[in-house]
Structures are given as C-alpha cells and as structure tokens.
Structure 1
Amino acid sequence: MTHSSLPQHVRSLEVSTRRGTFAGLLATPRNGPRGTVLLLPGYTGSKDEFLPLLPHVVDAGYRAVAVDARGQDGTTGPDEEDAYRQDALAADVLAQAEALGGPVHLLGHSMGGLLARAAVLTDPGPFLSLTLLSSGPAQVGEERQLQLKLLLGALDTMTMAQVWEAMCELRPVNASPGDTERLRARWLRTHPSHLRVVGRQLLSEPDRTAELARTAVPKHVLYGDQDDTWTTELLEDMATRLGARRTVLAGAGHSPNLQMPAETAEALIDFWAGVPSA
C-alpha cells in the first residue's frame, strides 16, 4: 500500500519509543479526539490489515494507531530470537502506549490479542480498555497447529521466498495480482526469527483467562461466527470467564477487520464509548 493510496485522514507514521521505532499508520480525526486506539495485527499480518477499519474509527472521532511488531513488515528486527519473546514484545507495546501520550484503548487481532493480553498483564495502567479480536484463550486450534508446524519446519530448511512459493502451492492466494505481490513483499520483509519464536508461542500459549479476569481493565471479545483458528465455543467461554462484553459477527471468519469493517467498527465504537476516560 503506497502512501498516496491511503484512505483520507490516514498517513504512515514512525512511532518512536524508548524501545526503538515501529512502523505504523495514524488516523487522526478533524477535531480533538475522543480517545486514542492502539491496534496490534496478527501473526503473519501487518498494520495494513486495519486499513478498512480506520476510516470508520476516525469518523467516530477516535485517533487510531496501527503498528507492526518488531520484525513484522515495516518494523525491522534483529536475528536474535530473544527479541521476539512474548515478554519482549509486550514491553514494546507498553512503550508504544507511553509514546502515544497516555491511556489508550488496546486492540489485538489473533496473535496480536495474545500480545495485548500479555501487555495488560504486565502493566494494566496504560490501557483504558482491551479488545480481543478473533483471539482465543490459549494455543490455536488443531488445524492451525498443523499449519504452524509445517511452516516452522519449512523455515528451518528454506528461504523466505521458497516458503512463500510452497505456501502458495498448498493454499493459493485468493487476491488480485497486485494484492498478491503486496502480500509477497510483506512476507519477505518479515523477519524469520519473528515467525519462529511467535509461531512456537502460538503452539504453546497457556490459558491466562483467570489472570486477565482479575484486572480492572474493561474487556471486549469480538469474533466472527465462522472463525477457524479458535472454536466459537472456546471464544464464548473465554468471554464469559472474563466478564467481558461479547460481540459475534454473523458471516465473518477470522478477520472481521477485513471482511466486515463497518460492522466491526460499529461494535468497537459502541464499546469504547461506554468506557470511562482516564
């Protein structure tokens, strides 16, 4: 996505923090914002996956910042695997919230939700609310586990370009040639150490629902009824145990932010509007 093709009121941004600089997208309303939202993408995704959502969020008066994690798409990262451990990435999120100037509404999609949860459990202070978007209580489901194990094995023996070709053979990309090339370029910018460490985390993530429930941060669990990464039964049970608001979008799969951005934004904005400001 080039700068010139970004939606109105959205621009590229470098988020400078005490833990380094992170590639981001900033959406700013015309008038003073009602609040700030920090958006964390999923495992093989990027900040761009929030682009369909951002115009709706900014139209409602919220300032929104979507960021690439360390080693993900536009944010560079080192070879050392310790940089991608969950505690390190959670510390990055806390630094991002601090750099944005105060308490933020935090949203994480899929793996980003597990990372958001880890950040809140490390220090809930910087967060007005937490939304887990298509993000479950523990490790991913069996089918995703199999796919992850295949990917991790491939990363040990193949280049990123070779892995991309192999993935496309197994599961062809359902996109236009231009979009396919953008997805390939994004994949090649992602650091393999990020994929290895975070992939192993997705296979072993513990259920920290009870721990999260003890925090006072208002919580929202939002997902599509066709989600195929965690079962809807698991997601419903997690929402109940958290005492969270629960929104289920009929017809949406694992990425409501892409598939049903207007409906997703409506649910988010209604939730944020009911959260007391700092």
Structure 2
Amino acid sequence: MSQLLSLEAPDHARSVRLCTERGIFAALDVEPAGHALSRATALFVPGFMGSKEDFLPMLPALSDAGVRVVAVDCRGQFETGQASPDPSFSRADLASDLVAVARCVDAGPVHLLGHSYGGLVSRAAVLATQGDPALWASLTLMNFGPAGVSSWQQERLNLLLSVIDSMTLADIWPFVRSGDALVPEDVESFLERRWLSNSPSQLAAVAEHMLEETDTTSELARLSVPLSVISGTPDETWAPDGVERMARELGARFVRIEGGGHSPNVHMPAETVSALLDFWLPRQSTVAA
C-alpha cells in the first residue's frame, strides 16, 4: 500500500479536474514557485491503493526548482472515480487514460513518472505510443520491477481478490491499513477515506495486472525515450536487485535510495527529487533546502 506521513502541500498547489477525451480526472497541479518560468513539466502516476497525494513531500522542492508537477488520480482511484460512463479497467485502457491526460496538460512533452503500479501503467502508455517524443520527454520507473510482483505480494493480492466481491471496502480496511504508529491521526483518517473512495472493480483489475504482468523490458529498450529507474530499499514488492537488472537492460539511469523503502517519495523525498532533477535538468539541478 502507498504510504504517507503528512498531508502538507505547497500553498499554490491547485486541485483541478482535467477534462480529457477519456473522461474527467482529479489532479494536483503545482506550478513553479513565485514568478519562476517552468523549466520542465512532470506527470506523476501513483501506485496501487495510492493517489496523487503520495507525491506531496516532493512538491515544494520541485516547484522551487522550476518544475511544474501534475499528479493524477487514475481511473477508479480516490477523487477521479469512474472518470467516464461504462469504465474499463483493462491495462490498455488505463494506459490510454494517461496518454489523454498528458495531452490535456498541454505543456508539450512531459516527464512521466510512475510509482509502483503506476510504473506498470506508465510503461504501457509509453509502449502504446512507441515513445512518441511529442508526448514524453522521459520516463522514470520508481520502485517498479520488470514483471510480476514478489511471492509475498502475490499472496496479499490473491487474498484481496478472494474477498473483494464478498466484503465491503469498509470491512477490508482493518486488514490493509498500515498500522504504523508514526502515521499521524489526520493522515490515517485520510488514508481510510481514500481507500473507501476507490472502485472495487479497479482494485480487483489492478491486483490481477500486478499478478499477470509480463516482462516488456526489451520492447521498452528499443524506444528512444530517455529512461531512468529509481529504487528505494528495502522493498518487498519488487526485489531491488531485479529492478537494478531491469535498469541495466534498459540502459537507463539508475539510482538506488537506501532507506527509501517502497515509497522513497515519502521517506527520502529530498534524495528522490535530487535524482529526478539530475535526470531532467542535468548540470542545472538545484534542490531547495
């Protein structure tokens, strides 16, 4: 499950609704701080059970560095909901949603970042568009491996699939909540509200995607889109060694963030921002103190 320790956001972060050809998507849109010109635009895609808020800890530093960030709730997640009538949660349709969102942002090619399951959908979107340089300035996969998840995570996903049709999300919540004593009460309340807002159909479909994903590393490596891979450790969802092997096969820039766990965006945000800026804005990157 995606993790959070704070809900603090930059004062100029805007909650927006992106009206696309695929439906309406909830997003956070954070422009560069002050009157700075945008040096780059990034589109952030959260993981399973996550939301756009997962990236809050990184937003101030990225904004100070002149990067516009659009973080989105995918179809079936939190505040996006169904997005459109008769929604499909197939991998291909979720990837098509990302393409539509990227076009709606209307900033030229975006730096696409997918965290965990968000990496799976982001990779699918880039592959479906053959790495179209008019859409994608780069792709970063963060804590996402080449194929299916670890055996430990497979057990958890299969357990969820076995009860998702017979139990309510409220009944399931005690079994999926983190139970971390360090999580403040307001964040715990938010996480519960977010979980209850998810679509059960989306949760089931995404669990199956994570169980069935095949390795498309070689297909991605053939494209010309610039690639980077970030691996927070330790991680029980995709083995860090497998993530690093994938990065080598992709010829991607690789950064391992010790102590970042499955969510380096939360546990090591400064280090994660530094890795991103070094990739997006080489020889120009600065991270605000």
TM-score in terms of structure 2 length:
0.90
Q: Does 1:121 align with 2:130?
A: no
Which residue of structure 2 aligns with residue 132 of structure 1? 141
> Which of these residues, 145, 150, 156, is aligned with residue 154 of structure 2?
145
Contact 2:22–2:83 (8 Å) recurs in 1: no
User: What secondary structure does 1:268 align onto?
Assistant: helix
Amino acid of the structure 2 residue aligned with 1:109: H
Which residue of structure 2 aligns with residue 46 of structure 1? 51
The residue correspondences of 1:1-278 to structure 2 (distance < 5 A) are: 6-29=9-32, 30-77=35-82, 83-101=88-106, 102-123=108-129, 124-125=131-132, 126-168=135-177, 172-174=179-181, 175-274=183-282
Q: What is the deviation of 1:78? A: 7.2
Runs of 4+ in 1 over 2 A off after TM superposition: 78-82, 165-168, 171-174
Relative distance call for 1:262 and 1:38 in structure 2 (3 A) is same
CA displacement, residues 28-67 of structure 1 (integer Å, 9 cap, x when unaligned)? 0132201110000001100000000111111110110000
- Which structure dedicates a bigger proportion of its chain to helix? 1
Distance 2:87 2:188 in 1: 31
Amino acid of the structure 2 residue aligned with 1:142: S
Count of paired positions: 271
Q: What is the deviation of 1:185? A: 0.3
Q: What is the deviation of 1:253? A: 0.4
Amino acid of the structure 1 residue aligned with 2:151: E
Q: What is the deviation of 1:14? A: 1.1
What RMSD, in angstroms, separates the aligned Cα atoms of the two structures? 1.9
Contact 2:8–2:57 (8 Å) recurs in 1: no
Q: What is the deviation of 1:152? A: 1.2
User: What secondary structure does 2:80 align onto?
Assistant: coil
Amino acid of the structure 1 residue aligned with 2:153: R
Relative distance call for 1:51 and 1:5 in structure 2 (3 A) is closer
TM-score in terms of structure 1 length:
0.93
Q: What is the deviation of 1:228? A: 1.5
Percent of aligned pairs with the same amino acid: 45
Amino acid of the structure 1 residue aligned with 2:249: R
Contact 2:24–2:84 (8 Å) recurs in 1: no
Contact 1:9–1:55 (8 Å) recurs in 2: no
Contact 1:81–1:197 (8 Å) recurs in 2: no
Amino acid of the structure 2 residue aligned with 1:128: A
Distance 1:207 1:226 in 2: 22
Distance 1:80 1:147 in 2: 30
Distance 1:234 1:128 in 2: 25
Contact 1:220–1:245 (8 Å) recurs in 2: yes
Structure 1 unaligned spans of 5+: none
Structure 2 unaligned spans of 5+: 284-289
